[in-house]
Structure 1
Amino acid sequence: MTIETLLERDFGTIPELIHLHAQQQPGHPALVQDKRSVSYAELDALMDRVAASLQRDGVQPREAIAICAGTSIEYAALFLGALRAGVAVAPLAPSSTAESLAIMIRDCGAKRLFIDATTAPALDSVRDRIDVAQVRLDSSAEPGWDSWLAAPGSMPQPVQLQPDWIFNIIYSSGTTGAPKGITQPHGMRWQHVKRGHLNGYGTEAVTLISTPLYSNTTLVSFFPTIALGGTVVLMAKFDAGAYLELAQQYRVTHTMLVPVQYQRLMAHPDFDRYDLSSFRMKFCTSAPFSAALKADILKRWPGGLVEYYGMTEGGGTCILAAHEHPDKLHTVGQPAPEHDIRLIDEQGREVGPGETGEVVGHSGAMMQGYFNQPEKTAEAEWYAPDGKRFIRTGDLGRFDADGFLTLLDRKKDMIISGGFNIYPSDLEAVLREHPDVADAAVVGVPSTAWGETPVAYVVPRAGAGITPEVLMAWVNERVGKTQRLSALEFAETLPRSAIGKVLKRELRDQYQAGKPQAR
């Protein structure tokens, strides 16, 4: 079978494509990190060893493993090898709290947990609650990667993957309650791969990845590159100067970055001295992307610029080819081909042309639901009168006369900081655990470093002796790294509507005006 024949099918798999590349271009580099390179033949063999190891350990098709580790070649090979065995992968964010990690590992039913030296300490406080065998990806302790892997040349039992089998489970962030596991099937990922050629992915593509492998932002660029025979250059941690050096050295053609990374790159004092002429396409997603920043990128960075607007849950996606529509940089573009994007009001009815409504979307790439949480799945769905299923975004938007979508606000006050989702309700729940806190609200405010950052307004209890600085430190010790408050202000009261709802827009405006309600 040829790669072209497989891609013409309604359903195929990424492991199949990698195997074909290993036969047709065995020496072509698939993964590069630091000074190490793994060819397609080597990657294919490594995936076989991973799949055989999981089968040896009794992990069955449609069961799951969890990975909580930094970006590495081993991480990528493990993810891909697990797919070959029909095993779902739950990539977990090391920045999550230990409590959240324990919940996620238990929720997905992981049969094996893969960690490394940098993430192992994060689990120390909940180790007695993690009843699953652990493997160190970096061989920093036993069992380590080298000793866990089946012998070179090992072959797994063939597994016939199905389109509705779970490919991965990506969890939402959270410090309280149960984080939601977003289940994406193999059929959804196949659709992503099939349209990869539209963005220039292929054997000549070199994609530089500097966002974590546990993030769907990363995966939507990683999988088309590796499935279509390109080379992925991995960065364990983003640094603007190091990124530019790698881009020039490897003649990078593609990249996926979040807005704050673009901001740091464009502000780098030596940006303009680097040769970036090899770039074909740059992508951005995950957070608000200012029109001014897009314009600067178009002016100074060769190649096209594409912004994606969508959700990890799938549904509808909007695409803005900024290089083709420089007059639409204030928008997130038009619905992708065969993606149905609509706007609905509070009653679930479609709104008319030019009106504002909540964005809902339908496409061939949609989550099956939230893992083990049918009620949360139902809350995320909207059905058209003809029964067509859509995913709700919680964002408010409006289409212009040309069919471009402008986002106006988030219906739910989620904060996106450095490309990561932060839920104010989680932080507010932590604040209210403190005995000196009578009331609290958390809002997102603009940040030069992170795009947005969380700020808390707190009404202290009468007679409380705590200071804002001490309270903020107390909170930040109890939340994940990406969720930490950047400021905390005391207030006598919180502004509320007639029905008692906190008016968060007023708090944001107040903070930006530099006149917080200091007590």
Structure 2
Amino acid sequence: MTDPELPDFDLVADCVRRHARRDPAHPALVAGEDRLDYGALDACMDRVAAALQREGLGRGDAIAVCAGASIAYAAVFLGALRAGVAVAPLAPGSTPEALQRMVADAGARRLFTDAACAAECAGIPVPRTALDGAAEAVGGPALADWLAPAGSRPDPVAVQPGDAFNIIYSSGTTGAPKGIVQGHGMRWAHVRRGRAYGYGPSTVTLLATPLYSNTTLVVFFPTLAFGGTVALLPKFDAGAYLALAARLGMTHTMLVPVQYQRLLAHPGFDAADLSATRMKFCTSAPFGAALKAEVLRRWPGGLTEFYGMTEGGGTCLLEAHAFPDKLHTVGRPAEGHDIRLIDADGRELGPGEAGEVVGHSPGMMTGYHGQPEKTREAEWFAPDGKRFIRTGDIGRFDADGFLVLFDRRKDMIISGGFNIYPSDLEGRLAEHPDVAESAVVGVPSAEWGETPVAYVVPRPGRAVDAEALRTWLNARVGKTQRLAALHLIDELPRSAIGKVLKRALRERHAGG
């Protein structure tokens, strides 16, 4: 999955410089009607890097960005990297208290934000810069006024593979967000595998997921490193996505499963011109086999699913177009990635046994920023001392070496001493013609310890009787798997990148 022509280590910022010299007028970034070519991007990165150096920032320092996706956001991110400064991209939907904690945890010395996030960022005690020019709302200079003068060049910085590239904060769906430190070496490993997916100067990658998410960044940086064009769609809308993909001649895209679902359900999908598509990617949330099959049938180009973590403990790849009989799996370990299974006591399991997935790869996080205890909790060491990252997922390998996932360890329900995997019940519910999607969670039970409860979104226009659906499901599962209750819901709660927030459903149940 790597390109022998690429060096073992290089810098994304240096790749942009080379493309700027080779073809300065080639478009690098597109957002709406705004475009920035490689020559202008390279010059802007220099001005960002020089401005940060003017303020005394360099290797070992960090900035934070909390804003909607934009060309300015991307240019500041890349410019900081040129100065050797790590970037902490933060989710705009976070509370002011969470944002303040994350900025402090990252040690960010400047915060870049926009008018939409100004109120949430107002109490953060670091200098702020307005990416969109809304200086008064943000309480700091507009980006154009903060930048170093045109033509400025930063001092060269000898960035090393282990230097922090970014600090990505976990979604916080399982507790307080943790800062995941990813090095330049890890990001370069993502670039090196890019040639296998056809990245190059003719690439047009359309992204409708946020720039603070690793889901987006694993294709954003390789596209630019290979001289392609990144088109940003700040807010996902199925109709707008299809129109933009057709207009730009989109060749690559990264989407989460719920976005694939909504695109395929759009009345204009089959009429949209997606013929230029070479490769579609998916990650971040369970991707059902039936949905993968529909994508393959109706959308040209290849489909690759990435299974892994932001922590980078190891990746499995499913080239769905090449293995249509393995759509129920998440694929096989990527080249150079070591994926194993362990039991609850940390013992490695043999072939065919189910256990927690742990992984080792060339692109592993350094650790959780400032939280050595949390880092140790996330690690598993093989008897020979090899370091692995624990995923918290339960799975097993089939006879061909493809990984089949069951559930998150934290979501597994233990009822009367029996293990119940919510995905088994959700899969059964998906077979009912009136069910659009569902989520099953474990709730406290005086009799069984825990018991499963389902939340179901009916298909549009269908009249569903919750008790009748529960009876239908319970007749098709084992006695220990039977639902204690089934609730109809208009929409499942999701994170910004499409993960179902099961904690929110458990809290909803607890609240009656």
Note whether the superposition's TM-score is higher than 0.5: yes
Distance 2:392 2:220 in 1: 27
In structure 2, the gaps of 5 or more residues are 413-421, 456-482, 490-508
1:514 Cα deviation from its structure 2 partner: 6.4
Q: Separation in 2 of the partners of 1:370 and 1:452?
A: 32
In the TM superposition, 1:326-345 aligns within 5 A as: 326-345=324-343
Question: What are the superposed Cα offsets for residues 462-496 of structure 1, whole Å, 9 maximum, x if unpaired?
Answer: xxxxxxxxxxxxxxxxxxxxxxxxxxxxxxxx315
1:366 is aligned to 364
Give the one of 255, 258, 261 matched to 1:257.
255
Q: 3-state SS of the aligned residue for 2:311?
A: coil
2:148 alignment partner in structure 1: 150
**How far did residue 287 of structure 1 move?**
0.2
Matches within 5 A, 1:282-361: 282-361=280-359
Contact 2:441 2:454 (8 Å CA) reproduced: no
CA contact (8 A) 2:454 2:487 kept: no
- Aligned equivalents of 1:450, 1:117: Cα separation in 2: 36
Distance 2:440 2:68 in 1: 25
Classify 1:54/1:503 alpha carbon distance in 2 versus 1 (closer, same or farther; 3 Å). same
Residue equivalent to 1:224: 222
User: Which residue of the partner structure matches residue 85 of structure 1?
Assistant: 83
After superposition, the C-alpha distances for 1:243-289 in whole angstroms (9 at most, x for unaligned) are 00010000000000000000000000110001111000000000000
TM score, norm. by length of structure 1:
0.81
Please tell me whether the aligned partners of residues 395 and 404 of structure 2 are also in contact (alpha carbons under 8 angstroms). Answer: yes
Tell me how far apart the structure 1 counterparts of residues 304 and 237 of structure 2 sit (CA, whole Å): 22
Measured in 1, the distance between the counterparts of 2:70 and 2:440 equals 30
1:131 and 2:131 correspond: no
Task: Report if the CA contact (8 A) 1:182-1:370 is conserved.
Answer: yes
- AA of the residue aligned to 1:369: G
Output the CA distance in 2 between the equivalents of 1:263 and 1:327.
20
Q: CA deviation at 1:454?
A: 9.3
Distance 2:240 2:248 in 1: 12
Letter of the 2:452 counterpart: R
User: Do residues 403 (structure 1) and 377 (structure 2) align?
Assistant: no
Query: SS state of the match for residue 35, structure 2?
Result: strand
Shift in Å at residue 453 of structure 1? 6.6
Q: Determine the structure 2 residue equivalent to 1:239.
A: 237
SS in 2 for 1:183: strand
- The question of whether the paired residues in 2 share the 8 Å contact of 1:72 and 1:234 is answered with yes
Check if 1:510 corresponds to 2:504: no
Quote the offset at 1:177 in angstroms.
7.0
Distance 2:199 2:438 in 1: 31
Q: Are the structure 2 counterparts of residues 176 and 344 from structure 1 closer, same or farther at C-alpha, using a change threshold of 3 Å?
A: closer
Residue type at the aligned position of 2:204: V
2:489 matches 1:495: no
| Structure 1 residue 409: Cα displacement | 1.3
What is the identity percentage for the equivalent residue pairs of Structure 1 and Structure 2?
A: 61
Q: How far apart in 1 are the matches of 2:336 and 2:436?
A: 33
Q: Which residue of 1 aligns with 2:212?
A: 214
Counterpart of 1:63 in structure 2 is 61
1:169-214 CA deviation, whole Å, 9 max, x = no partner? Answer: 0011338974210000001001111111011111111000000000
Cα 1:452/1:81, change in 2 over 3 Å: farther
Label 1:241 to 1:394 Cα distance change in 2 as closer, same or farther (>3 A): same
TM-score (norm 2): 0.82
Contact 1:103–1:178 (CA<8 Å) still a contact in 2?
no
Deviation at 1:452, TM superposition (A): 6.5
**How far 1:86 moved relative to its partner?**
0.2
The residue aligned with 2:31 is 33
1:103/1:179 contact within 8 Å kept: no
Are 1:291 and 1:329, in contact at CA under 8 Å, matched by a contact in 2?
yes
Q: Secondary structure in 1 aligned to 2:270?
A: helix
Distance 1:294 1:86, change over 3 A: same
- Which residue type is aligned with residue 20 of structure 1? R
Matches within 5 A, 1:452-463: none
What is the number of residues matched between the two proteins? 444
Q: Give the residue type in structure 2 aligned to 1:40.
A: Y
Alpha-carbon distance in structure 1 between the residues aligned to 2:373 and 2:511 = 41
Deviations 1:409-452 (A, max 9, x none): 110139xxxxxxxxxxxxxxxxxxxxxxxxxxxx9996999977
Q: Report how far residue 310 of structure 1 moved.
A: 0.2
Change (3 A) 1:511 1:122: farther
Other structure's SS at 1:361 match: strand
State the shift of 1:350 in Å. 1.0
- 8 Å Cα contact 2:68-2:210 kept in structure 1: yes
SS at match of 1:503: strand
Check the 8 A contact 1:260/1:450 in 2, yes or no. no
Task: Tell me which residue corresponds to 1:140.
Answer: 134
Aligned to 2:9: 11
What is the root-mean-square deviation in Å for CA atoms of aligned residues?
Answer: 2.6
1:279-325 CA-partner distances (Å, limit 9, x unpaired)? 00000000000111111100000000010100000011011101011
Q: Is the 8 A contact 1:100 1:174 kept in 2?
A: no
Kept in 1, the 8 Å contact 2:442–2:450? The answer is: no
User: Partner amino acid for 1:495?
Assistant: S
Specify whether residues 265 and 507 from structure 1 end up closer, same or farther in structure 2 by C-alpha distance, changes over 3 A only.
closer
**Where do residues 180-219 of structure 1 align in structure 2 (5 Å cutoff)?**
180-219=178-217
* Post-superposition offset of 1:338: 1.1
Partner Cα distance (2:104, 2:156) in 1: 28
CA contact (8 A) 1:205 1:230 kept: yes
What displacement does 1:518 show? 11
Runs of 4+ in structure 1 off by over 4 angstroms are: 175-178, 443-457, 513-519
Give the C-alpha shift of residue 121 in structure 1.
1.6
